[in-house]
Amino acid sequence: MNDEDLIVVGTGIRTVGQLTMEALSWIKKADKVLYVVSDPIAEELIKKLNPNGAESLYTLYAENKPRLQTYNEMIEKTLSYVRQARTVCMAAYGHPGVFAYPGHESIRRARAEGYKARMLPGVSAEDCLFADLNIDPAMAGCQSYEATDFLINGRIIDPSSHVILWQIGVLGDATYKRYGYEIKGLPQLLQKLYSFYNPAHMVYIYEAPIFPGVEPVVRPTPLYMLPYAGASAITTLYIPPATPPRTDIALTQALGLFSS
Q: What is the pLDDT of residues 83-121, one digit of tens each?
A: 998 899 999 999 999 988 999 999 999 999 999 999 999
Sorted by where each begins, the domain ranges of the chain are 6-119, 125-239
What is the band of 67 on the pLDDT scale with cuts at 50, 70, 90? confident
The DSSP H or E segment spanning 6 is strand 6-10
**Selection from 172, 168, 210, 235 nearest residue 41 by Cα:** 210
- Strand residues in 22-83 grouped as ranges (E): 32-36, 54-56
pLDDT of residue 76: 96
Which CATH number is associated with domain 125-239?
Answer: 3.30.950.10
Residue 83 — φ and ψ, nearest 5°? -70, -15
Confidence of residue 181 (pLDDT cuts 50, 70, 90): low
The DSSP code sequence of 80-114 is: HHHTTT--EEEEESB-TTSS-HHHHHHHHHHHHTT
Q: How far is CA 113 from CA 102, 107, 109, 119, in A?
A: 16, 10, 6, 17
Region 191-217 average pLDDT: 93
**158-176 average pLDDT score:** 87
Res 226 pLDDT > 80: yes
Q: What number is the average pLDDT over the span 211-221? A: 91
Q: Is 109 a catalytic residue?
A: no
How many whole angstroms from its chain centre is CA 240? Answer: 19
Q: Is the pLDDT of residue 1 over 50?
A: no
Averaged over 133-149, what is the pLDDT? 94
Q: Among residues 61, 71, 197, 206, which one is catalytic?
A: 71
Nearest of 229, 227, 223 to residue 202 by alpha carbon: 223
The predicted structure's pLDDT at residue 169: 82
- pTM to 2 decimal places: 0.87
Asked whether the predicted pLDDT for residue 157 surpasses 80, the reply is yes
Average pLDDT, integer, range 4-29: 93
Which residue out of 61, 93, 204, 206 is catalytically annotated?
93
What pLDDT, on a 0 to 100 scale, did the predictor assign at position 105?
A: 97
Distance CA 164, CA 204 (A): 10
Q: What is the band of 2 on the pLDDT scale with cuts at 50, 70, 90?
A: low
Q: In the CATH scheme, what architecture does the domain 6-119 have?
A: 3-Layer(aba) Sandwich (3.40)
- Selected residue with higher pLDDT from 259 and 130: 130
